[in-house]
Structure 1
Amino acid sequence: MAGCGEGGAAPVVPLGSPGVCSKGLQRKGPCERRRLKAVVSEQLSQDLLRLLREEIHTDVTFCVGSTLFKAHKAVLLARVPDFYFHTFGQTSDNLTNLESIAVENFEASEFRTFLQMVYSSNRSLKNYEEEILRKKIVERGVPQKRHDFSFGKCTDNDGRSSVEFLDKKSSPCSLLKHEGPEDISDGEDNLISTDNYDLDPASELGEDLLKLYVKHYCPDIDIYVDGKSFKAHRAILSARSRYFAAMLSGCWAESSQKYITLQGRNHVEMNVMMHFIYGGTLDFPDKANVGQILNMADMYGLEGLKEVAIYILRRDYCNFFQKPVPRRLASILECLIIAHTVGVDSLFADCMKWIVKHFARFWSERSFANVPSEIQKSCLNMLIQSLVSIIRMPLFVFVIKKFIL
């Protein structure tokens, strides 16, 4: 069996393979997914809030009275596009990070709360944004425009198309002149369009940020992996990954370059990781190697992605450790090897306990013979210990009863 470390291929078992869906699985599966989604959603929110508070890779400064606030154009564009265009208008092309934008009709504390909501709220901000614009902009007599972030259209309140922002030079992000994302892969490997890759962002925040990645809005760095280009944002990469935070700051050469190259990675797994970084997505495509993703998550400091990978291993490889299903025995052994290789002790222990419990089904399996000898010995030792404890149990109970009586 091949390992899943750097340069190695992790064992692959097709995801979503058929299995018996017991009542226990029907209850446990959705419950585990809800728990995981809540954890990933909270982590994404905290990462973005830290990005704001620590002013990591900011590219715009607001001035409210005598107070300065640093922020990120891409995040504002993703979360509050109407506010973005009302604030920047056509000036953003020539605006530098050293210049500040005066924001009127706001108190400093009120604007701070607004930014914190933009960066950390897990809910849609459309109603909140409309309320802010109505109070702060419309009351001043400035006509309000609606910006459809999904389809790249700008309309006024009468529904007429506006060409104000359709000019190529009008917006540095070309938000309203969407030309479609570059395919990062060819044909059947395109993860964005495959039917079997159900994107499920962890929250509204994740959904908004994911658009920045999928639609290539405002990228400021390219990541080259496996001959493919991934357009990304330094700030979001740094907020979500300790590895990228170190690489894109300090004295590393990559901190001043417009691109970075990652060796020894597959573009399919890389795209899964990028979807998680932006959206906190909870699903992998069928052809993704879960072991490799788990290894990448560990290397790049993505604890949430590790939890997603472990959840998928428990669900699709181990059937949440329900009753044995013949065609699942080999996949549980694969999961055991992946957990051992990457060092996921809790998953490895659960696999071992389940295999020992149903050892009679496993020992004659050809796949068990292919398991590394050290793991086989661990299984046998645990089996012997369990048998010894079973043998001793009746005597222990008998002695206790006699003592009590």
Structure 2
Amino acid sequence: MAGCGEGGAAPVVPLGSPGVCTKGLQRKGPCERRRLKAVVSEQLSQDLLRLLREEIHTDVTFCVGSTLFKAHKAVLLARVPDFYFHTIGQTSDNLTNLEPIAVENFEASEFRKFLQIVYSSNRSLKNYEEEILRKKIVERGVPQKRYDFSFGKCTDNDGRSSVEFLDKKSSPCSLLKHEVPEDISDGEDNLISTDNCDLDPASELGEDLLKLYVKHYCPDIDIYVDGKSFKAHRAILSARSSYFAAMLSGCWAESSQEYITLQGINHVEMNVMMHFIYGGTLDFPDKANVGQILNMADMYGLEGLKEVAIYILRRDYCNFFQKPVPRRLASVLECLIIAHTVGVDSLFADCMKWIVKHFARFWSERSFANVPSEIQKSCLNMLIQSLTGISISHMRKENQRSKCFIQVHNVYSK
């Protein structure tokens, strides 16, 4: 386990190194994960819904009667590709961002609800999209075509190939959870693999949006980090991160540039952040430095990513504060240092309480001696405070634990 970094930097702590799983972890782990997944999923839905309502970086306009609706091609392509083909895909070659696309057979209120569902629903939209197409598109005499999201082509009901859906420079539409952009898939720098990390998007919405990032669909900005390029979408970045919202809003010089360069993070941390922005993923790869990701999440205004990092520390380093198990003591101390360095007060307090509760074991740990002196003093002060009102005679009955407590009490009472 790594120690605390210098100059206030988060300690370098590789993920997945602490001790083993216990029955307590098996009971509490799934419950905590479900809670976190629900929180991250709801946050992703609300962010995308706000993106639609506030018309942030829109690039397509629909006309329903006399009502105009602004939206985002990338989101529509990811969530309702057949609808995209029947509306935008057939006219995109001769369409500018300012020309509205007429949508027939819809009332304005119906189309508004349709867009809200597309942007915020946490479920698969396949059946809903088919129903909409059947009622609204086919009934006006347009031959029904399916968009094959695996090969980037449109096929009719007999499966015969039709026109190319995207331009020739576009990537194929097939996406696997564990695929990585070509720029960062070289050798040992490969971030995501089935051996490293089982990506778990927060919802169907997250899984659909993650396709846009992993396969470079309709990107409108390049981000350079650590010498590597990450293709992204201004709208989604702005909806998910307050930092990117400010950077790309027009107040910064970067808002008008086709690419930006970020400093202070490496490509592994950047890809963790991008997977969370698009998919709300709930895991990190083994290489990830959890402390650095906490710092990064705070800087970029990603509260949900902070919650995921804290969850991983509680799970992998603290065993959700169950009973002590072999090799777990040192990892709890590592978590204590990270929480103190990054400033996660709630996690720091939980670590302190658990250490005080099991202080007899920590007192003799060599790793405790390596904890910064200010944190040691905080632990011992909390220990002494916990002794208030407890009789020495009662504590003598607790064998090793009482001997340790009495020793510390005598030393710090002088």
State whether TM-score is above 0.5.
yes
Distance 1:72 1:330, change over 3 A: same
Q: CA deviation at 1:161?
A: 2.0
Determine the C-alpha separation between the residues in 1 that align with 2:24 and 2:413: 39
* 2:49–2:120 CA contact under 8 A, matched in 1: yes
Query: Which of 378, 400, 403 is 2:409 aligned to?
Result: 400
Determine the C-alpha separation between the residues in 2 that align with 1:193 and 1:229: 19
How far does the alpha carbon of each residue in 1:248-303 deviate from its partner, in whole angstroms, 9 at most, with x for none?
Answer: 01320011001111111111011001000000000100110011111111111111
For the aligned residue pairs, the C-alpha RMSD in angstroms reads: 5.2
Distance 1:274 1:48, change over 3 A: same
Determine the C-alpha separation between the residues in 1 that align with 2:233 and 2:350: 38
Determine the C-alpha separation between the residues in 1 that align with 2:61 and 2:9: 46
SS at match of 2:261: strand
Aligned length: 397
SS at match of 2:223: strand
SS at match of 2:62: strand
How far does the alpha carbon of each residue in 1:136-189 deviate from its partner, in whole angstroms, 9 at most, with x for none?
Answer: 111112111111224434321101222443662899999999999423242122
* 2:250–2:256 CA contact under 8 A, matched in 1: no
* 2:199–2:283 CA contact under 8 A, matched in 1: yes
Q: CA deviation at 1:359?
A: 1.0
Q: CA deviation at 1:362?
A: 1.1
Determine the C-alpha separation between the residues in 1 that align with 2:130 and 2:7: 50
Determine the C-alpha separation between the residues in 1 that align with 2:68 and 2:346: 47
Distance 1:105 1:171, change over 3 A: farther
Distance 1:149 1:262, change over 3 A: same
* 2:180–2:191 CA contact under 8 A, matched in 1: no
Greater CA drift, 356-365 or 183-192:
183-192
* 1:222–1:232 CA contact under 8 A, matched in 2: yes
Equivalent in the alignment of 1:96: 96
SS at match of 2:63: strand
Distance 1:17 1:109, change over 3 A: same
Q: CA deviation at 1:21?
A: 3.0
- Aligned counterparts, 1:186-335, within 5 A: 186-335=186-335
* 1:4–1:295 CA contact under 8 A, matched in 2: no
* 2:13–2:291 CA contact under 8 A, matched in 1: no
Distance 1:49 1:4, change over 3 A: farther
How far does the alpha carbon of each residue in 1:301-352 deviate from its partner, in whole angstroms, 9 at most, with x for none?
Answer: 1111111000000000101111112311111111001111111111000000
Determine the C-alpha separation between the residues in 1 that align with 2:243 and 2:80: 29
- Aligned counterparts, 1:1-400, within 5 A: 10-17=10-17, 19-165=19-165, 168=168, 181-387=181-387
Determine the C-alpha separation between the residues in 2 that align with 1:25 and 1:162: 52
Determine the C-alpha separation between the residues in 1 that align with 2:411 and 2:180: 79
Determine the C-alpha separation between the residues in 2 that align with 1:143 and 1:260: 43
Determine the C-alpha separation between the residues in 1 that align with 2:230 and 2:43: 23
How far does the alpha carbon of each residue in 1:65-118 deviate from its partner, in whole angstroms, 9 at most, with x for none?
Answer: 000000000000000000001102342134222111111110000000000000
**What is the identity percentage for the equivalent residue pairs of Structure 1 and Structure 2?**
95
SS at match of 2:162: coil
- Given the two structures, how large is their TM-score scaled by the length of structure 1? 0.90
Determine the C-alpha separation between the residues in 2 that align with 1:181 and 1:194: 15
- Given the two structures, how large is their TM-score scaled by the length of structure 2? 0.88
* 1:152–1:176 CA contact under 8 A, matched in 2: no
Determine the C-alpha separation between the residues in 2 that align with 1:172 and 1:63: 30
Distance 1:15 1:130, change over 3 A: same
SS at match of 1:326: coil
Distance 1:110 1:317, change over 3 A: same
Determine the C-alpha separation between the residues in 2 that align with 1:239 and 1:272: 17
Greater CA drift, 130-139 or 15-24:
15-24
Distance 1:171 1:128, change over 3 A: same
* 2:151–2:173 CA contact under 8 A, matched in 1: no
Task: Structure 1 unaligned segments of length 5 or more: list them.
Answer: 388-395
Distance 1:3 1:84, change over 3 A: farther
Q: CA deviation at 1:195?
A: 2.3
How far does the alpha carbon of each residue in 1:375-402 deviate from its partner, in whole angstroms, 9 at most, with x for none?
Answer: 1110010011111xxxxxxxx9999999
Determine the C-alpha separation between the residues in 2 that align with 1:329 and 1:403: 24
SS at match of 2:183: coil
Distance 1:226 1:7, change over 3 A: farther
Determine the C-alpha separation between the residues in 1 that align with 2:304 and 2:336: 21
